[in-house]
């Protein structure tokens, strides 16, 4: 179950962030901007509650987010999206999931896990720029559900059919929101056309 956000502003920003000549400073800025657009859609059904406030003119009944939001970036590239979602919901709490890929088995291995306590009415938002093979995402969802998470959404910048199929087969109840569903994975397990290595491009490493 996935939603691809085809807003013209997102597509314009994708054209720039994909460009290999875009430097790490601009790449980080664009990752933040695209994340805000995608998360805007991903959070449209969060629960709100009515509150009464006093404007300079009169009392007004308004609505504030009632859901307990927990953002979970997958280290390290997921950190490049964190600022974007926290600009939308600055009261959200943040958990962290660290994974690396075993060079022999090619499977994700957890090396760090720091998650807030589970509460009622909680929504976990997993963020990672690239949902490629789906291995790290599925591993993170496994950990969150063992932790007690009931409602989870995944937000990424780009993905592909292989990654979506992996998540859907393992966690069909978890929706994925993305700016683009790209064509396929190549022999190196890179998304095509993709963005390249999002972590390296975010932080200027190789």
Catalytic: which of 83, 142, 168, 200?
200
CA dihedral 71→74→78→82, nearest 10 degrees, is 20
Does the active-site annotation cover 201?
A: no
- Spatial distance between the Cα atoms of 202 and 129, rounded to a whole number of angstroms: 10
Catalytic: which of 55, 61, 91, 105?
105
The answer to whether 50 touches 61, Cβ cutoff 8 Å, is yes
Query: In 3-state terms, what secondary structure has residue 176?
Result: strand
Does the active-site annotation cover 120?
A: no
Catalytic: which of 26, 76, 101, 151?
101
Does the active-site annotation cover 173?
A: no
Does the active-site annotation cover 101?
A: yes
Q: What are phi and psi of 139, to 5 degrees?
A: -60, -40
- The residues annotated with a catalytic role in the active site are 101, 105, 197, 200
């Amino acid at each position: 179950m996935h939603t691809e956000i085809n807003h013209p502003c997102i597509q314009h920003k994708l054209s720039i962030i994909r460009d290999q000549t875009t430097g790490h400073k601009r790449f980080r800025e664009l990752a933040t901007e695209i994340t805000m657009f995608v998360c805007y859609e991903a959070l449209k059904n969060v629960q709100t509650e009515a509150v009464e406030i006093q404007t300079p003119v009169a009392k007004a009944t308004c609505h504030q987010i009632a859901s307990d939001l927990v953002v979970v970036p997958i280290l390290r590239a997921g950190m490049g999206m964190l600022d974007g979602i926290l600009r939308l919901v600055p009261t959200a709490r943040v958990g962290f999931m660290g994974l690396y890929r075993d060079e022999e088995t090619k499977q994700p291995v957890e090396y760090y896990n720091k998650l807030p306590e589970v509460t009622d009415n909680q929504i976990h938002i997993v963020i990672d720029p690239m949902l490629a093979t789906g291995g790290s995402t599925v591993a993170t969802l496994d950990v969150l559900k063992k932790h007690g998470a009931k409602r989870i959404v995944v937000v990424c910048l780009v993905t592909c059919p292989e990654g979506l199929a992996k998540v859907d087969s393992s966690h069909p109840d978890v929706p994925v929101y993305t700016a683009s569903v790209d064509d396929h994975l190549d022999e190196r397990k890179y998304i095509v056309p993709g963005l390249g290595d999002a972590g390296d491009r975010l932080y200027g490493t190789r």
